[in-house]
Structure 1
Amino acid sequence: MLKTLFSIITICIIAVFGLWIYESMTTKETSGNPYSEAIPSQMGEPDSSKYMFTERFPYTEEEILEKTGYGSKTGEGFNSSNMIAPIADFQINQPGKEQGTYIEGIPEGHTVKVELIERTKELEKMAKVKEVTYKEGEKGLVATLPEKRDQLYSLSAEMMNGNGEVIDTYVGIVYVPPEPEVNAEVSIDKTSYSPTDTMDFRITNFGPSRLSYGARFIIQSYENEAWKTVEGPEAVVAMEYILLPKESTIHTVKLESYDFKKGKHRIIKRLGVSDTQVEEGLAAEFNIQ
């Protein structure tokens, strides 16, 4: 009797556990579908950040040296024989990250002074954040970026000889952006198309972050009060596009490549903030006649 009761209890536990797993899996499948609900065509507004970089390299090397007051590269201390990773003229990084240059080792009798300085967009000095001197043999000539966002810095490495004279300099500009978020809009050239038309799909990046995205579009039809994905061509997986702040781009979509029926549809594009895990989907709705 006890053995039978124990078996019944065991079966009940297994059944309940199995039901819990099933519900968890099905809930995850439906609630995790990013295309099951309404998707906006716009997210955020044109950004008003005090730093808005609309170019990949907003400062030239000459401009950086002139406005920061540092000396130029001579190759006497930093050169191809000992340089592992130089300081870039301009780069974007996140708070708390190490930034600097790496060499095979500071030569005997020499030191390197590294400075991190807050600057305005015009590269005017605001405040010195950090200064550290590295001695001979050391390789990582770095400074850690503060936990502050939407801030511009200059980062310099000056090599000095035994007399304290600067013999070579590397200097670059580092920008720490605001909290990463997608501020963008997608739009299309018409609201109604035939199945053989081509569509002009526009993406506008409000900034201040750079956006990245792949070649794939997702097109869905609205049937029986639900969105269903329309079969279409496979995209080139490895292809990635970068869209700078304040820029727009247009992609041509051949609708004949998709298996359309008449009715309401939408085209979805996943946009991500470059070098982060932040990603959002935006969509534009249209009709097939």
Structure 2
Amino acid sequence: MKRAILMMLLVFGLVLAYQVLPTQNSLPEAGNRENGSINLNETLGPIVPAENASPLITLNKRVYSPNDTMELTIVNSGKTNLTTGYAFKLYRLENGTWKEVPLNLMFIEIAVIIEPGKSWEQRINLKDLNLEPGHYRIEKTVVVTDPANEVSMGIKAWAEFEVRG
């Protein structure tokens, strides 16, 4: 009995793999490739149109002291809702490379929906981050959902700033 079930699962897996995995004939013609890569819009269709995916992060200042409060604003200039939250990542530029700054913070998990033409502001107390002087980048994940095909895509939106003093 166990062998029969195992054999049925194996056959089912092979049939499923045959149906799901692309074949060479399903890929675009070699003439449609640029630089040896495959255009995913040709194989999968557009995931989220570019005009729908336009989050913008702005900061109230370019230079902060370690004790300032940063005002981060996400502006939705696109045609569809954006979703984000309070979590963020922080990077410091060191020798030409962005290094993630460990944050000893906990973030509440609340989905913030930003409608087209609207914005959302988050206040961040830099004193809680214990930042040394330097060049930083704050990064947030913003999810764009295309209502036509109900496909979502996460976008990393960021802004750079300096800490002095």
Query: TM-score, normalization: structure 1?
Result: 0.36
- Listed as ranges, the matches of 1:142-221 within 5 Å are 179=49, 181-221=52-92
Q: Distance in 2 between matches of 1:209 and 1:239?
A: 19
Residue pair 1:231, 1:258 contacting (<8 A) in 2 also? no
Higher RCO structure, 1 or 2 (CA under 8 Å, sep 6+):
2
Q: Which has more radius of gyration?
A: 1
Q: Which runs of 5+ in 2 are unaligned?
A: 1-47
Structure 2 counterpart SS, 1:277: strand
- Listed as ranges, the matches of 1:50-61 within 5 Å are none
Q: Which runs of 5+ in 1 are unaligned?
A: 1-177
Residue pair 1:231, 1:259 contacting (<8 A) in 2 also? no
Map Cα deviations across residues 166-211 of structure 1 (whole Å, 9 max, x no partner): xxxxxxxxxxxx7374212111011111111100101100121100
1:277 to 138, 145, 152: 152
Structure 1 counterpart SS, 2:61: coil
Query: TM-score, normalization: structure 2?
Result: 0.62
2:133 to 262, 272, 278: 262
Sequence identity (%)? 27
Q: Distance in 2 between matches of 1:179 and 1:224?
A: 36
Q: Distance in 2 between matches of 1:264 and 1:179?
A: 33
1:235 to 107, 116, 129: 107
Map Cα deviations across residues 72-116 of structure 1 (whole Å, 9 max, x no partner): xxxxxxxxxxxxxxxxxxxxxxxxxxxxxxxxxxxxxxxxxxxxx
1:225 offset after TM fit, Å? 1.5
Q: How many pairs align?
A: 111
Which stretches of structure 1, 4 residues or longer, exceed 4 Å deviation after superposition? Answer: none
**Higher fraction of helix:** 2
1:279 offset after TM fit, Å? 1.3
Q: Distance in 2 between matches of 1:191 and 1:247?
A: 22
1:276 offset after TM fit, Å? 3.2
Structure 1 counterpart SS, 2:79: coil
Residue pair 1:220, 1:266 contacting (<8 A) in 2 also? yes
- Listed as ranges, the matches of 1:1-289 within 5 Å are 179=49, 181-232=52-103, 233-236=105-108, 238-274=109-145, 276-289=151-164
Indicate the RMSD between aligned Cα atoms, in angstroms: 1.7
Structure 2 counterpart SS, 1:278: strand
Q: Distance in 2 between matches of 1:262 and 1:197?
A: 13
Structure 1 counterpart SS, 2:127: helix
